Amino acid sequence: MPIDRASLVPALKNIATRLRIDSARATSEAGSGHPTSCFSMAEIMAALFFAEMRFDPKDPKNPDSDRFVLSKGHAAPILYAAWAEAGAFHRADLLKLRRLDSDLEGHPTPRLPFIDVATGSLGQGICAAVGTALNARRIQSAYRTYVLLGDGESAEGSVWEAANVASMDRLDSLCGLTDVNGLGQSRPTMWQHDMEQFERRWRAFGWHAIVIDGHDLTAILDALDEARKIKRQPTMILARTIKGKGVSFVEGKDGWHGKPFKKGEELDRAVAELEKQFVPVPDGGPAANLSSQIPKPQSTSRPVVTPKPVAPPAYTMGEQVATREAYGSAIAKLGEADPRVVALDADVKNSTFSDRFEKAFPDRFYENFIAEQVMVVSSAWRQSATSTSSSPARTRVCRSERTDPRRWRSRIWRCAARSPAVRCSIRATR
């Protein structure tokens, strides 16, 4: 039963405060990290994880779970804090951030069961989210994909390649959120807090754009509700935020990017300010323990897929065949042997012969036009669950020819058991 807003919002506010405190303590213990980048997105994370997304913290690989991709990967501490708050692991483990004996790296790593794709290279997360949304369509799942970007990374060309492809494919299950905190690493960001600049760009790319105050939990929840109702186009929620929100001596101030609070007086002062921001929430009320009320996904029963042996090529010994044609024939045979094989193309299918795959399996062929960055990264989406062994498919087979980059545009990826690792790719080489 939905929790009324009067009870929900104060509880989410306290979660946002805890996420800030955990991010501050983790980065200070590590001696490195980006606490102020985490602080600006705390309310967004609280609303997403504890009032919006459907997932099971104890079963993060459920194929019908909603997906979250942190495109601004340097804010990983608050992502880890959210999963700890949800009960995926002990909160005390957050203090192992960036240690050599810990998988809580400075940027998200797929070695963690609740992380689907590594994000550290800015502009790549939204590309992966496009692939994740396409995968929902492929396996006929109702899961939604959420991706959180930074305003600084919005200068990356790959962001706009992804925007184009997502709009073309009418990915209404994809919801982006941009943390517009106005400050980059060395200076203010390109458009700072000019929200109209962001809004008109996303609208121009065919997205439904919503501008909100990113620290207003009611506005965040309303925007997420609106996004869920939008059909035949993706949504981008543009959240005006303040970098370092919640701590007076860093809030909205330049020069604090990637700088943790010094252990001792500086950290104690920051935590003390944050602790004063907790608000009363009745112990026995409906929102007393939101982590225990995260809605679980409705799992769908799917048939077990057993791949058939791949048919051998019909070549005779000594016959000369162009690599590109052999590639086209090979991926068509792979597609015939395994219905989980999909192909992605960047407008060279008639050169690489990948159109043979398209003609045989049009519903598993994805045309990206010449948007090569989103094509490559979207192929690393989190795959659907299968019962087959993933071990033989974990080997990535890549071959490229330096002389002609055009031949890099057609790729085939084998979709095996769910794993964030890219399974198998075959590139046309001539």
The two tokens of residue 107 are 């940027």
Structure tokens at 258: 């990637």
Token pair recorded at residue 208 = 């439904």
Give me the residues paired with residue 235 across strands.
175, 208
User: What 3-state class would DSSP assign to 391?
Assistant: helix
Residues 43/220, Cβ–Cβ less than 8 Å: yes
Q: CB pairs under 8 A, 24+ apart, for 195-202?
A: 195/238, 195/240, 198/151, 198/154, 198/238, 199/238, 202/163, 202/236, 202/238
Distance CA 207, CA 370 (A): 20
Active site (annotated) includes residue 265? no
Write the CA distances from 19 to 23, 149, 183, 221, 274, integer angstroms: 6, 18, 21, 18, 10
Strands 145-150, 174-180: pairing is parallel
Question: Residues 6 or more apart from 44 whose CB is under 8 A from it?
Answer: 148, 177, 179, 214, 220, 239, 241
Query: What is the b/e burial string over 382-417, where b = at least 16 CB atoms within 10 angstroms of the residue's CB?
Result: bbbebeeeeeebeeeeeeeeeeeebbbbbbbbbbbb
Both tokens of 133, joined, read: 């949304």
Catalytic residue among 29, 265, 372, 401: 372
What is the Cα–Cα distance from 235 to 227, expressed in whole angstroms? 6
- By annotation, the residues acting in catalysis are 372
